[in-house]
């Protein structure tokens, strides 16, 4: 795993925290945040607080797992075997970040529809 992918991953996790803070500031207190537990579609709605904590926590968990599983690749004498996780980490985190943004957008639409 390269240092660049570690830094990019950390920046994406920080972005996810920023998106959650944006959602906390803009969503009403009774908003329900969709949580995605598997392949398919959003299948569960959580309270605003739980939903806004779970998305960045999932990103941090993914980041931590990739770092823990491929931490040996940060050593200067490693071979090219660590390049797979180095490429995958930013893509997985970017996808999770996009899903978080979609979840907050859906929560915003649902609260707008209910309030009209």
Q: How many domains does the chain have?
A: 1
What pLDDT is stored for residue 112 in this prediction? 66
Nearest Cα to 87, choosing from 11, 9, 14?
Answer: 9
Residue-level pLDDT, tens digit, the chain, 116 residues:
578 888 899 999 999 999 999 999 999 988 999 887 666 555 688 889 999 999 999 999 999 988 887 766 555 555 555 556 667 888 999 999 999 999 999 888 887 655 54
Q: Which domain holds residue 70?
A: 3-115
SS3 at position 78: coil
Residues 49, 50, 52, 56: is their CA dihedral positive or negative? Answer: positive
Q: What is the pLDDT of residue 34?
A: 87
pLDDT of residue 13: 95
Whole-structure pTM value = 0.78
Please give the C-alpha separations between residue 65 and each of 68, 71, 102, in angstroms, as whole numbers.
Answer: 5, 10, 24
With beta carbons less than 8 A apart as the criterion, state whether 35 and 42 touch. yes
Which one, of 115, 108, 95, 112, lies nearest residue 12 by Cα? Answer: 95
pLDDT at 110: 83
Which candidate, 78, 74, 106, 90, places its Cα nearest to that of 1? 74
């Amino acid at each position: 795993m390269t240092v660049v992918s570690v830094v990019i991953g950390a920046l994406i996790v920080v972005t996810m925290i920023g998106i959650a803070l944006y959602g906390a500031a803009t969503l009403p207190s009774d908003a329900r945040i969709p949580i995605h537990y598997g392949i398919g579609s959003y299948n569960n709605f959580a309270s605003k607080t739980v939903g806004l904590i779970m998305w960045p926590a999932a990103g941090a968990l993914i980041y931590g797992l990739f770092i823990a599983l491929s931490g040996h690749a940060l050593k200067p004498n490693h071979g090219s075997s660590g390049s797979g996780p180095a490429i995958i980490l930013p893509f997985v985190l970017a996808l999770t970040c996009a899903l978080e943004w979609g979840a907050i957008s859906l929560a915003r639409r649902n609260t707008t529809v209910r309030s009209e």
